[in-house]
């Protein structure tokens, strides 16, 4: 199953959710591949030390632009069952470059992913904070979407546009089978704003909202800075506990 973690808003915990979902599923014994499509390379910097330069031809760029096979850019990580595909800063021009391409510009990631899909139980795709062609490629390549929403004020603006884009991908038959696996409340705390936003999300999306919410928890950010996931960094933290329950919910859906 291919799961994309999407929201065109930045700072809503897409990368944090992608990494810990992928790592948690790998810890459960599933074979998992994490793909970073964000030109900002945040997930890539967690798995690969920022000082180590990643060649363009060893990144997702060459898959999307030069039709290199995905297998040529998959790396092992230090974690069992978890493979990784790095992004590259050059992908920041990919939306423009793809827009000029004549052939198959929305389905390039799908074409690459389909070739290796059978080798993995789960493929998790972290996405950029935009609804450009990179994200469209992820929508086309994916079976399911997880939409993290920060329970902060202004969190709900933009969700209309996100839903419209998903509907466009379904209706234009780019990927009619695409569906939302769940909406995930992140950065939850006991403030009035956080509880209000969570309530609004549950009113609006109903059962689609995961029962699990991810609390504000510093261990999640610390794990990134230590180039690892939260289960390895702080197994007993609130962040680890929440993502563990989320994974149970994801598996149950
Ligand atoms: N639940 C959380 N509690 C505290 N910090 C978090 C939490 N989730 C994410 N962060 C931190 O917030 C920042 C934004 O999260 P990130 O996953 O990078 O969002 P996005 O990928 O949507 O831009 C990062 O510095 C991350 O470490
Ligand atoms: Mg990110």
DSSP label of 215? B
Q: Which atom of ligand 1 is nearest to the CA of 16?
A: 17
Nearest residue (by CA) to ligand 1, atom 9, is: 13
C-alpha 150 to ligand 1 mean position (Å)? 9
- Three-state SS string across 15-82, please? HHHHHHHHHHHHHCCCCEEEEECCCCCHHHHHHCCCCCCCCHHHCHHHHHHHCCCHHHCCEECCCCCE
User: Taking ligand 2, which is a single-atom ion, which protein residues have CB atoms under 5 Å away?
Assistant: 14-15, 42
Closest CA to 245 of 206, 203, 188: 188
| Ligand 1 contacts CB of residue 214 (under 6 A) | yes
| Ligand 1 contacts CB of residue 216 (under 6 A) | yes
Supply the pLDDT for residue 80.
Answer: 96
C-alpha 48 to ligand 2 mean position (Å)? 15
Nearest residue (by CA) to ligand 1, atom 13, is: 11
Q: Are strands 2-5 and 32-36 parallel, antiparallel or unpaired?
A: unpaired
Supply the pLDDT for residue 71.
Answer: 97
In order along its 253 residues, the chain shows pLDDT tens digits of: 999 999 999 999 999 999 999 999 999 999 999 999 999 999 999 998 877 888 899 999 999 998 899 999 999 999 999 999 999 999 999 988 998 887 889 999 999 999 999 999 999 999 999 999 999 999 999 999 999 999 987 888 889 999 999 999 999 989 999 999 999 999 999 999 999 999 999 999 999 999 999 999 999 999 999 999 999 999 999 999 999 999 999 999 9
> How far is Cα 74 from Cα 82, in angstroms, rounded to an integer?
10
Q: Give the long-range contacts of residues 161-168, CB within 8 A, separation 24 or more.
A: 161/8, 161/131, 162/6, 162/7, 162/8, 162/131, 165/131, 165/135, 165/136, 165/139, 166/139
122, β-bridge pairs: 32
Ligand nearest to the CA of 224: 1
CB 158 within 8 A of CB 125: no
| Ligand 1 contacts CB of residue 151 (under 6 A) | no
85, β-bridge pairs: 35
Q: Where are the alpha helices (DSSP H) in the chain?
A: 14-27, 42-47, 60-66, 94-100, 108-116, 133-141, 159-171, 192-205, 218-225, 230-233, 238-252
Nearest residue (by CA) to ligand 1, atom 27, is: 221
148, β-bridge pairs: 184
Whether the model pTM is above 0.95: yes
> How far is Cα 196 from Cα 193, in angstroms, rounded to an integer?
5
Kindly give, in sequence order, each residue whose CB lies less than 8 Å from that of residue 66, ignoring residues fewer than 6 positions away.
Answer: 57
| Ligand 1 contacts CB of residue 11 (under 6 A) | yes
Domains, the chain, in order of start with CATH, read 2-252 (3.40.50.300)
DSSP label of 245? H
Q: Exposure pattern of 137-167 as b/e (b: 16+ CB <10 Å)?
A: bbbbbbebbbbbbbbbeebeebbeebeebbe
Q: Which atom of ligand 1 is nearest to the CA of 42?
A: 18
C-alpha 80 to ligand 2 mean position (Å)? 23
Supply the pLDDT for residue 116.
Answer: 97
CB 188 within 8 A of CB 194: yes
């Amino acid at each position: 199953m291919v799961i994309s973690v999407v929201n065109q808003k930045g700072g809503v915990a897409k990368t944090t959710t992608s990494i810990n979902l992928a790592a948690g599923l790998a810890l459960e014994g599933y074979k998992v591949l994490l793909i970073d499509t964000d030109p900002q390379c945040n997930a890539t910097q967690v798995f690969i030390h920022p000082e180590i330069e990643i060649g363009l031809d060893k990144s997702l760029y060459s898959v999307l632009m030069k039709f290199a096979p995905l297998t040529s850019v998959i790396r092992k990580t230090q974690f069992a069952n978890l493979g990784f595909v790095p992004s590259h800063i050059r992908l920041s021009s990919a939306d423009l470059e793809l827009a000029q391409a004549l052939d198959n510009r929305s389905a390039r990631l799908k074409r690459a992913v389909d070739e290796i899909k059978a080798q993995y139980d789960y493929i998790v795709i972290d996405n950029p904070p935009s609804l450009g062609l990179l994200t469209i490629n992820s929508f086309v390549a994916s079976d399911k979407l997880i939409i993290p929403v920060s329970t902060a004020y202004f969190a709900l603006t933009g969700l209309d546009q996100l839903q419209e884009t998903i509907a466009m991908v379904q209706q234009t038959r780019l990927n009619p089978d695409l569906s939302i696996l769940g909406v995930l409340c992140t950065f939850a705390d006991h403030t009035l704003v956080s509880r209000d936003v969570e309530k609004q999300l549950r009113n609006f999306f109903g059962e689609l909202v995961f029962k699990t919410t991810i609390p504000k928890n510093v261990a999640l950010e610390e794990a990134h800075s230590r180039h690892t996931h939260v289960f390895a960094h702080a197994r007993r933290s609130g962040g680890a506990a929440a993502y563990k329950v989320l994974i149970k919910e994801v598996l149950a859906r």
